[in-house]
Structure 1
Amino acid sequence: MQPDAGPRTTRVAIILGGVANDGGFNEAGAGAVEALQREGKISAQIRQSVANARDAETAVREYANAGYDLVIGWSASFSDAVYQVGREPAFSKTRFLVTGDASDKQKPAANIETWNYDNTQYGYLLGWIAGNTQLAPIGIIDGQPIPAQVRKWKGFELGVHAVNPTATVRQPIFTGSWEDATKANQAAVAQLDSGAHLIATNAEGFSPGIAAAAAARNVATVGMNSATSDTAKKINVGRARLDLLPVLRPMIDRLKNGTFGNRTSISTIANKSLVLDTITKVAAAPSLPDDIQARAERLAQQLADGTVKIGP
């Protein structure tokens, strides 16, 4: 008699639009999958730097054909590709996760779940950090103007004005790329040339370009991962970030117990999937309060329990 091999390992593939160590959105997805693999809950495969929806569809179909239990399209721009493959009868037993902005225009299905984060809450947390610097005008530089990012920057303005009501927050500049550091650098230089005293951005592949421009003028930034570069460490105050484990763990449990599907998950402050990262007092932001980290922890709790409300 052959020994019992035990339960089969759950296989998960995640398809990224950028690199897994970008310090931002892609790293949040890849890091959560890697953490679950280290815990022995899944076996993971990470596909990096998938350039477009056509290549994403090819990758999704490849993993579905290979028998993966869950295929994650980790970009809002991949949603149509995931739906295209997920709705094919041949893959009815494969499970798929559509991420990013897809929940605005698509619906979950029996073998498909969707995920998004509360963009307004995310932006508010970042804006609160920016407001506490007492620096203005604030220039904003981002990648693509997808609806999720537009909402994020509206939330950002609410967070800034909750702390510093008179601060000028400029309209976001979208370079069109999440990865092009040169375009981001050029946009940052333009903002600084026109008098911006703080640059708000995302932790993305383009971050080093913004860090270099800001550091050259000794201007602070918010929103980057300070580990992006030695330059970023000197000028970046802090950021809000995604912690996907509180959302992904129960998703894997549903996958294993057969209840996966027909569900949308949202990362929020309350479920501890949206958090404030470490906030640092840098020379370029001398007015940042000394007790900013304690204030941040207090704010996160007040937002989670409803003591502080976002918006009117």
Structure 2
Amino acid sequence: MKKKSIICLFAVVLCLAMILTGCGTAQNNAGQKKLKVGFVYIGTANEPGYTYAHEQGRLYAQEKLGNKVEFVVQENVSDTDDSIVSVIQSMIEQGCKMIFANSYGYMDYMYDMAEEYPDVIFLHCSGSKSRENMLNYFGRMYQARYLSGIVAGMKTETNKIGYVAAHPIPEVIRGINAFTLGVRSVNPDATVEVVWTSTWYDPSLEKAAAISLLDKGCDVIAQHQDTTGPQIAAQERGKWCIGYNCDTSDIVPDAFLTAPIWNWGPYYTEQIQKVLDGTWKSENYWGGMEDGVVALAPLKNAPEGAQEKVDEMAQKIISGEFKVFQGPIKDQNGNVRVPEGTVMTDEELLSFNWFVEGVIGTIPED
């Protein structure tokens, strides 16, 4: 009996040891805390548009980084008030150590919060303010807009092209100008008329703005908006459209020509991995077509010769042989703003407040 007792006791001890070992392993696995990363979006991620493109980038990062990261996402956060403050505070309370936010209007709030929370990393899309724990990131979308302008300029029959624009900030003005330069590089007689909506996301208002341009004889509609409203208006009228943010040819197949599009996945993955590796630094980013962060969607319903011209200019942009804002460039009043042989600096591009020749419209005070 005594021998059996010793054997039983040994078995119990062995089992306990195995259980404790197992628990220890589980604790180690669980103890490897995931990096919590927050994403704040101006719009909704389930409709093709600006926020949708960012969400596709986040999903790409999620796939690449696997179980190293846990994401917290908040959609439809206004940038016209301090809504983002409570959202970010909530994310920090949930343990987020890294927060991305995708609207220009968030900038000042994030800048202040970066000072308040020095141990949290802030990444702001499209702004201009930075700190040791806050950077700005964006892409040279004007490169793809120039290419889309080539397509529009070759497609128009009325030489009247409409542009539905959001807010009169340098980013939007820069895009309108690049698009117009692309249009007039192949069609000097064409003009681009701008209508402002003073909103990023309002499908009905954006559609109405496009309709007002179609009523004036515009047969191609371009946009800097977050919805497909302008594109739908063009299709319903039997005209053409240039999209934005992502390829929406499946939504407006009869009207779609192309679209300047975003590819945020590699950048998001890289930045998060740097935090995981302990190598992250506050370094502002403004990448171009050579990085793949901006591109042009495949051409549909395009005029003859457009693909060849786009390919030619895209290669020159990527190689650096051609700069979109190289002189000579005149403003809409005919004054030379960029002399021949010079190229606008990044500082000038980031503070754009005038229209190039060929644009019809004014820049209001936002």
Category of TM-score, reference length = shorter chain: 0.7 to 0.9
Is residue 2:224 matched to residue 1:192? no
- Residues 148, 199 of structure 1: alpha-carbon distance in 2 compared, 3 angstrom cutoff: same
Is residue 2:159 matched to residue 1:139? no
CA distance in 2, matches of 1:189, 1:265: 36
Is residue 2:121 matched to residue 1:95? yes
- Residues 63, 131 of structure 1: alpha-carbon distance in 2 compared, 3 angstrom cutoff: same
Is residue 2:285 matched to residue 1:265? yes
Is residue 2:151 matched to residue 1:129? yes
Aligned counterpart for 1:110 among listed residues 121, 129, 132: 132
Moved over 6 A (4+): none
Query: What residue in structure 2 maps to residue 149 of structure 1?
Result: 172
Is residue 2:204 matched to residue 1:179? no
- Residues 114, 296 of structure 1: alpha-carbon distance in 2 compared, 3 angstrom cutoff: same
CA distance in 1, matches of 2:76, 2:288: 27
CA distance in 1, matches of 2:36, 2:313: 38
CA distance in 1, matches of 2:181, 2:32: 49
Is residue 2:79 matched to residue 1:58? no
Q: CA deviation at 1:248?
A: 2.0
CA distance in 2, matches of 1:168, 1:219: 16
Normalising by the residue count of structure 1, what TM-score does the alignment of the two structures yield? 0.87
Q: Which deviations, in whole Å up to 9, do the C-alpha atoms of 1:93-118 show, x marking residues without a partner?
A: 11111112x12xx1x22211111222
Aligned counterpart for 1:45 among listed residues 72, 92, 96: 72
Q: Secondary structure at the match of 1:156?
A: helix
Normalising by the residue count of structure 2, what TM-score does the alignment of the two structures yield? 0.75
| Unaligned 5+ runs, structure 1 | none
Aligned counterpart for 2:188 among listed residues 165, 185, 188: 165
Query: What residue in structure 2 maps to residue 255 of structure 1?
Result: 275
CA distance in 1, matches of 2:220, 2:156: 9
Q: Contact conserved, 1:119 with 1:151, CA < 8 A, in 2?
A: no
Q: Secondary structure at the match of 1:51?
A: coil
- Residues 275, 200 of structure 1: alpha-carbon distance in 2 compared, 3 angstrom cutoff: same
Q: Please show how residues 6-17 of structure 1 align to structure 2 within 5 Å.
A: 7-17=32-42
Q: CA deviation at 1:296?
A: 3.5
Give the aligned length: 296
Query: What residue in structure 1 maps to residue 248 of structure 2?
Result: 227
Percent identity of the aligned residues? 23
Query: What residue in structure 1 maps to residue 358 of structure 2?
Result: none
CA distance in 1, matches of 2:61, 2:308: 30
CA distance in 2, matches of 1:77, 1:298: 36
Query: What residue in structure 2 maps to residue 306 of structure 1?
Result: 320
Return the letter of the residue paired with 1:227.
Answer: T
Q: Secondary structure at the match of 2:258?
A: coil
CA RMSD of aligned residues (A): 2.2
Return the letter of the residue paired with 1:43.
Answer: E
Q: Which deviations, in whole Å up to 9, do the C-alpha atoms of 1:211-236 show, x marking residues without a partner?
A: 33222321101124553764x22211
Query: What residue in structure 2 maps to residue 296 of structure 1?
Result: 310
Return the letter of the residue paired with 1:62.
Answer: S
Q: Which deviations, in whole Å up to 9, do the C-alpha atoms of 1:52-102 show, x marking residues without a partner?
A: 3411111111112221121111100111121121110xx2211111112x1
Aligned counterpart for 1:18 among listed residues 23, 36, 43: 43
Larger Rg: 2
CA distance in 2, matches of 1:226, 1:309: 25
